[in-house]
Amino acid sequence: MASLDVINGDAPPSEDPLQLLRTMAERVGGEVESFAAELDTWANDKEKTQYQATVELVGECRNIAKERVETLRKDYDAENKRELADSTAHRVNDMADAPMAGEHDIFGQSSQSTALHRQSSAARLSDELHQLRQWQAELATWDLVRIVIEQHYPDPESDPAKAKRERLAEAGGTKQYSKNSEIWDRFLLEDDRAKEKALVLRWLEQTARNDRSDLTSITTELERQSGRGAHTWTSGWLDTKGRIKQAKRLEAAQTTIKPDSVKLMTADGTHNLVTQLDPDAPARQSRHLERPDDFYERALWMVCYEMLRRGMPWDQICDWAQHRNEAWRGVSVGAACEAHPDGGPNLSGPTVGYMFRRMCFYAARGAQSPYEGAVYGLLSGDVKLAQAACRTWDDHLHAHYNALLLSRFDSYLQQEHAGCRARVTQNLAQKFVFQDAVAKLGDWQHASRNVVDALKQQKSTAAEATEPFKLIQGALIAGNVHELVLMVGIAIADMFATDERPNNLMLHPDSQVTARGPKPESNKRTFLAEPHHQALATDSHALRVLVHIFIVFRNGLHCGPMVELTRDSRTWMATDNVIVAYIELLRVAKKYMVIPAYAAQLSDDRIVHCLARVLPDIKNGDEQRSYINVFKRCNVDMTDSIVESILFAQNNAGLTRFDENMHSQIINPISHFKILEPAPPDKLSPWPGYRIRQGFAGTAIGAEEDAIIEALQWLQYAANDYEKTFEKLRYSLMIFLRTYTLLRNMQSC
């Protein structure tokens, strides 16, 4: 948990919360009604179990995001393609300019360039493209939510343990001659965390296919920058081949030129040129290709990496290589080996791919370019070399998860399972280097959280890792959504601590226990949020997504850590601030009719506190009646909220105050209304010598009195609670009449 012991310190400075709300409200679109309607359907669905309804709610939220992505992508297709092409061109430039592997810190250099380009690109995005990127991030997030639910929150009416035993009983992989693919399948069945990582890997690959340039666009850009036509991309190292042929003619050589027999330089005279054309020649001879051929070589490895990063089927990778007369590349990445399981690694040979991965491990260290090293790094599970080609948070997460999964599988192969002998002997494991990526990160149980935390600390990913949607996705992956919600709730409380409005909806967890309010009791803090938590709270799109995820996990799935937060009043108060902040946003955007769906997800006391401050904004009688009906549909009794709204109006007018037991006391009754007037003595009158005036002509009603009258009008819609209705009417009339009661008592004395 990201909580801290009580520490001293002021809340982080923030902008005017009202101005932030207005800015956020300007970005609120019609989608809020769609999400509220789905939430309302979920809350009132009596035909399905709560679990089934919750899973459907997540699916419907995903469908809304998918429709928005498709619409925006269609409407702004040309602009989107231009922006993606610009990003591709930048990657190609970086690829061409990157030093040879081992010469410099290619990982750090690439990461720095990427971070600067990301910031520059984000600043140039139009509002429409920014919306598209936001909706793409939301769509990916809802897909991730479904994976998390599938893995960690099974249907309460099911028996996951029994189902797992039955699947294991039916699965293969327990015999000496079992198919290698059966061993992989059994590994994922036995290890739930491995299965989750495999699913997250597939999610990352699908996201890359959805949101990035397609391979055709990348290849077109490579052809453009190389200056070669498409027909020359099947001819290999043309320039180097020509120079070698020329040298052989000059030397009248009948056989291969030996490197030491001739001084052969590249055209620019900067490096020694290779004298042979086999794929290993540059590494074996420690010589270079001509610059156009070097670009061509790097480009092919770049496309190979992009194919692996997108999770393309192995046969497609092989076909792509063969089409360019580069079949050996297809073989080297494992596409020509034994059949791979769907989305799984190379499983060739009696060691189920262990030896293949060790081969790739050594090949990665002999790579001549960053992308070549990254390809073999992904195939072997080497995080460091795979990261040389990583440009985004998603890329780095993919490299880590790929390494964790392969490392865990290779450890699995060294053990005996279900009567099956170890496929990798101890002697073999000692002879060929095996890097345990799991051990490097700590332990398998906490590996996901450790990776997410590491990416927040890593210089190249720290900024992106704390962006609103990456914070949400990281929390889902790390399994600590409850901590994120708590910290965002704290950040919201600190933001609104400076809001002096009497109708401020927030409650600060460090406010006075006997009189909870928006201001902390002192400078001491039980919890401390970071600036990026406040950034999430001020992103209307990300806030909406977090609110719905919070409701799904706490009120739909009854997630243990989420429920645990409700056991302490401070954490409960803070987490509810997240929903209340969204209600405040809807309120400023004047989306009153969708507020009930979210208010119904709060605790009873918080519903009353919240609505008592929202109701005064709704003044039209028809709207008030409709509002009551909406709350009835949400199974929320409005009586207490109306009552507190009246007390709230009286208190704000300075007419009453709350004592230590939160009981209202009249301290400043209204004195300028002349309710009684002198009259002839009448024995039947309760006030001899006085009577009630027939009108109040010439007496202006101020804003404070008007607020009380408007609050009292809501009583006509209360659910037949006559006791509370007449009690509040009586108390309000006392404020008007108390002056005259005192006067009469004085006269009688």
> Is the confidence at residue 572, as pLDDT, over 80?
yes
The more confidently predicted of residues 349 and 580 is: 580
DSSP helix/strand/coil, 550: helix
Of the pLDDT bands very low, low, confident and very high (cuts 50, 70, 90), residue 134 is very high
What is the model's pLDDT at position 271?
A: 87
Q: Report the candidate in 149, 42, 30 with the shortest Cα–Cα distance to residue 600.
A: 42
What is the model's pLDDT at position 4?
A: 39
Interval 692-745: pLDDT, tens: 777 766 566 677 778 888 888 888 876 666 777 777 677 776 666 554 444 444
Interval 419-433: pLDDT, tens: 677 888 888 888 887
Of the pLDDT bands very low, low, confident and very high (cuts 50, 70, 90), residue 11 is very low
Cβ 80 vs Cβ 129: under 8 Å: yes
- Is residue 299 included in any domain, yes or no? no
Q: What is the pTM of this model?
A: 0.89
- Is residue 684 included in any domain, yes or no? yes
Domain boundary among 289, 305, 331: 289
What is the model's pLDDT at position 152?
A: 95
Phi, psi of 692 (to 5 degrees): -75, 135
> Is the confidence at residue 652, as pLDDT, over 70?
yes
Interval 402-457: pLDDT, tens: 999 999 999 999 988 766 778 888 888 888 877 788 888 888 999 999 999 999 99
- Is residue 34 included in any domain, yes or no? no
Give the chain's radius of gyration (CA, Å): 35
Average pLDDT over residues 80-108: 73
| Separation CA 671–CA 544 (nearest Å) | 47
Lowest mean pLDDT among 146-150, 436-440, 563-567: 436-440
What DSSP designation does 177 have? T
* DSSP per-residue string spanning 596-632: HHHHTTS-HHHHHHHHHHHGGG---HHHHHHHHHHHH
What is the model's pLDDT at position 440?
A: 84
> Is the confidence at residue 462, as pLDDT, over 60?
yes
- Is residue 403 included in any domain, yes or no? no
Domain housing 266: 238-289
Counted domains in the chain: 2
What is the model's pLDDT at position 398?
A: 97
Q: In 10 A of CB 2, how many CB atoms?
A: 15
Return the percentage of the chain with pLDDT > 70, whole number.
Answer: 84
- pLDDT averaged over every residue in the chain: 84
> Is the confidence at residue 295, as pLDDT, over 50?
yes
Q: Is the dihedral of CA 120, 377, 331, 172 positive or negative?
A: negative
- Is residue 716 included in any domain, yes or no? yes
> Is the confidence at residue 29, as pLDDT, over 70?
yes
- Is residue 527 included in any domain, yes or no? no
Domain boundary among 249, 267, 289: 289
DSSP helix/strand/coil, 677: strand
- Is residue 353 included in any domain, yes or no? no
Interval 186-225: pLDDT, tens: 999 999 999 999 999 999 999 999 988 888 888 888 877 7
What is the model's pLDDT at position 340?
A: 65
| Separation CA 200–CA 187 (nearest Å) | 16
What is the model's pLDDT at position 698?
A: 56
Angle of helix 481-495 versus helix 569-588 axis, rounded to 10: 60
Lowest mean pLDDT among 45-54, 340-349, 675-684: 675-684
The more confidently predicted of residues 253 and 95 is: 95
| Separation CA 244–CA 250 (nearest Å) | 10
What is the model's pLDDT at position 216?
A: 83
Cα angle 226, 230, 235; round to 5: 85
Q: In 10 A of CB 598, how many CB atoms?
A: 23
Interval 515-564: pLDDT, tens: 888 999 888 888 899 999 999 999 999 999 999 999 999 999 999 999 99
Amino acid identity of residue 734, one-letter, is M
Cα angle 487, 490, 492; round to 5: 110
- Is residue 11 included in any domain, yes or no? no
